Structure 1
Amino acid sequence: MKPRRNASMENAKCYAPQILVGTEGLPREQWLEYRRKGIGGSDAAAVLGISPFRTGRDLYYDKLNIVTADDAENWVQLEVGTLLEPLVAKIFAHKTGYKIYRRPFMFRHPQYPWMLADLDYMVELPDGTSAILEIKTTNYNAKDNWWYNGEEIVPIYYESQGRHYMAVMNIDRVYFCCLYGNSEDEAMIRRIDRDMAYEEELIALERDFWENHVLTKTPPPYVEADGDLILESLRRKIGPADKDAPPVLLGQTQFGQLSMLLSLQEKKKTLAAEVNKLEKDIKRLKGMLIEKMGTSCTAVYNGSAESYTITYNPVRSAGISKDALERLKDEHPDIYDQYVTVSEWRRFHVKKAALQAA
C-alpha cells in the first residue's frame, strides 16, 4: 500500500538540490574528502544496518577518517564495476529507448546539507520528467538477490541508496540496471518510485547518525545481524593482537553478554549432537545404496509415482598435505617463501575460572 501524502509532504517536495562540487576530473582523494562532509547514497544501507558490505561503525570511522574501508581485497571487483559502467548504461538506453546523460556533480539536500548524492546517470523520460539511473554489476549466482518469490525486486541495500538519491534530488523515480553476464539479455532493469513515508524515516535515521554520532564523535553500536561483518569490522579497527597487553577487566554489561554467549553455545552443542546423529544415519543409508551400485556411477529408480537418478562420480582435486608442505619448506625454502602465505587470526575461547577466596 502506498502511503497517503498530506499537504506538508507535498510542500516538502518544493525544493531543488544544491551543487556541492563538480566531480569531472576531481582527484579521488579530494572526492573522498567531500564524501566525508555528509552521508552519500551508498552509505544509507550501513546507517540502516542492512549493508552486506560494512557496518555503521565502519561508516562512522570512515567519515572521521579514522579507519577507511579496506578496498585492497576487492579492488578488482571495484575496477570492473567502474570499467563496465558506460557499457551497462548503454545497454539500459538500448533496451528502454530512453535518453541518458551525466550530471558530474556532487549534490546536497538544501534542508539537510549532510545528505549527499553523486549519481551515475540521469534519464530523460518521454513525459519530460527526469529519473535517476544507478548502474550495478554482479555475478551469475548473485543475480538471485534481484528476485523474491518469483517477483522482481531491488535488493534492500540498493533500494535504500535509490531512496536517498530521490530525497536529495527531489526526483520521483530511480531505475537500476544490473549486468550479471556478458550479453544484453543478461542485464536486469528494475524501477522504484518515491515513498515519502520510507523517506521520512530514512532522513530521521541518517540525521541521528550524523548529528549524534559523527558530529559528537560517538561510535554507533553494532546493530547488524551478520556477526561475520561485525568481526571483520573489529579486525580492521583493532589491528593485530598484542600478546604483552594486560588482561581486560570486564564489567556487568559484558558478564550479561558472556552469559548469553555460553547459553547459546550450550544450545548449539545440543543441536550439534542431533545433527551428528542425523549425519550418521544419512551416511549409513548412503552406504547401503552405494553397496548396491558397486562400481557403477549411476543408479536409477523408476516407481509408479516417483523416479530418481543417483550419481556417484569420482572427484579429483589437487592439494598438498601438511607433511609435504613441511618437506617443501626444508628442501626448497625459496619456493616455499614465494608461494606460501601466512595469515593471522585470533581464536576466541571462554574458560570458567575457580572463584578466589575473599
Structure 2
Amino acid sequence: MNAPMMPSIPQGDITAHNDYINDLNKSLDPRSMTGEQLWHHERRLGIGGSDVAAILGISRWATPLDIFNQKRGYVEPADLSTNERVHFGNVLEDVVAQEYARRFNCKVQRRNNPIVHDDLPWMRANLDRVVVGQKKVLECKTADAFTVKFNWGESGTDEVPDQYLVQCMHYLICTGWEEADLAVLIGGNRFERYCIQFDPELVAILLERVRDFWINYVLADVPPPPTTLDEINQAYPNDDGEKTIATIEVAEAINERKELDEQKGLIESRIKAQDEIIKGYMGTKNTLVDHLGQPLATWKTAKPSRRFNTSGFQKVHPDLYSEFTQEGKASRRFLIK
C-alpha cells in the first residue's frame, strides 16, 4: 500500500537523513545507555506519532520549536517520573488493551521495536499494541470524564481529539495499514472504542508537513518560527530601530486587541465596584459567610513584609552598591497606539 500514496522523495532527502543519523549514532554509544536513555536516543532518529500534533501546531503540550530542540538534543528530556498523569497512563495502558481484547474477542500484542517506514526513514512509529491476525493498530488512552463532551464524539466514530487522530494516521502511514482503533478509558470507569480509517487527504498533509519539518528544520539545524508568546519574546529580545507595514491580518489583530483592552477596562471597573460593596459591608470582619455558614470571601490582615531599602543602601554604601549591582537584560516594551 505504501507505493501508491508516497510522493516522489528526492534522493537528497534520504542522503541528508542517513548522514544525520550516522553522525548522531557516532556521537553517542547506545551500549553505555540505560533503557530510558536509549529510548530518548531513538526518539531523536525521526518523527514519532506523539510528535506530529506539535509539528502541526495543534498540541496542547508542545510546539514545533519544542520538538526541534528535542530532536537536536538542545534540551534535556523532560523528567516525567513524578508526573502522575503520565504514570497512571502507563499503568492503565495494559488494562485498556486487555479490556479491548475481552470486549472484541481478539488478541492484542505489544510491538517493542519501533516501525520505520520503508521509503521515508524519518517516519517512525512506537505502537501501543497491534491486533493479532488483523492489519490493525491499537492505540490505548485514558481521559478525564469532564473533558470528553468537548473533545470526543460517539463511540465507534473517528471523532477523537485532533492530536490523537493525527497520531493514529501517522501510525497507519508507517505500517501501511488502513485501520486503527483507539481504545480509551474515561474517568476510570467508562470504556469506549473509536475507529480511525486511512484518510488520503489527511495523509498527504501529514507527509508534506512532517517532511518539511524534518528536512528543512531538524536536518538543516534551523529553528522553526516561534509560535507562542513566550517563544516570540525570547526569539526577538531587541528591536532594530526600523518600521514595518502591517498586513491586513495584523491590522485586524490590532483592532481586536484594542477592543479587548476596552472590555478588560470595563470588567476591571465592574470588579472594583463589586469589591467596594463587599468590603464596605465586611468592614473589620475577616470572613464573609452565607446563611449556612459556608465561607464566601475572606479579607484578612497579612503580616507586614520586609523589603530591602535599595536607595537608602546606595546612599550609605555607594561603593558596595556599585560592586554588587549588575546590569539587567534589555527588554522591549509593547504598546498599542
TM-score, normalization by structure 2:
0.67
1:29 is matched with which residue: 17, 25, 37? 37
Change (3 A) 1:325 1:121: farther
Counterpart position of 1:65: 73
Counterpart position of 1:56: 64
The structural deviation recorded for 1:89 is: 1.0
The structural deviation recorded for 1:273 is: 4.2
CA distance in 2, matches of 1:87, 1:150: 19
1:212 is matched with which residue: 195, 198, 216? 216
Counterpart position of 1:243: none
Deviations, residues 321-349 of structure 1 (Å, cap 9, x unaligned): 642787xxxxxxxxxxxxxxxxxxxx985
Counterpart position of 2:318: none
- SS of the residue 1:248 aligns to: coil
Counterpart position of 2:108: 100
The structural deviation recorded for 1:81 is: 1.1
Counterpart position of 1:110: 118
| Worse-matched range after superposition: 68-77 or 45-54 | 68-77
Change (3 A) 1:151 1:99: closer
Counterpart position of 1:248: 238
The structural deviation recorded for 1:121 is: 0.3
1:160 is matched with which residue: 156, 166, 170? 166
CA distance in 1, matches of 2:333, 2:82: 30
Verify the 8 A CA contact 2:116 2:125 in the aligned structure 1: yes
CA distance in 2, matches of 1:324, 1:11: 73
Change (3 A) 1:276 1:313: farther
Runs of at least 5 residues in structure 1 that lack an aligned partner in the other structure: 1-7, 14-19, 239-246, 284-294, 298-311, 327-346, 354-358
The structural deviation recorded for 1:170 is: 0.6
Counterpart position of 1:190: 194
Deviations, residues 2-32 of structure 1 (Å, cap 9, x unaligned): xxxxxx987348xxxxxx9xxxx97111111
TM-score, normalization by structure 1:
0.63
Counterpart position of 2:50: 42
1:323 is matched with which residue: 303, 306, 318? 303
Give the aligned residue type for 2:124: L
Deviations, residues 276-333 of structure 1 (Å, cap 9, x unaligned): 67779999xxxxxxxxxxx985xxxxxxxxxxxxxx983368998642787xxxxxxx
Verify the 8 A CA contact 1:58 1:69 in the aligned structure 2: no
* Alignment partner of 1:129 is 2:109: no
Verify the 8 A CA contact 1:133 1:177 in the aligned structure 2: yes
Verify the 8 A CA contact 2:141 2:184 in the aligned structure 1: yes
Deviations, residues 97-120 of structure 1 (Å, cap 9, x unaligned): 221111211111111100000100
The structural deviation recorded for 1:68 is: 4.0
The structural deviation recorded for 1:133 is: 0.7
Change (3 A) 1:263 1:96: same
CA RMSD of the aligned region, Å?
Answer: 4.2
Verify the 8 A CA contact 2:65 2:224 in the aligned structure 1: yes
Counterpart position of 2:180: 174
Give the aligned residue type for 2:260: K
Change (3 A) 1:265 1:116: same
- SS of the residue 2:181 aligns to: strand
CA distance in 1, matches of 2:38, 2:95: 26
* Alignment partner of 1:120 is 2:106: no
Change (3 A) 1:282 1:70: same
2:148 is matched with which residue: 123, 143, 152? 143
* Alignment partner of 1:199 is 2:203: yes
Aligned residues: 274
- SS of the residue 2:303 aligns to: helix
CA distance in 2, matches of 1:211, 1:89: 35
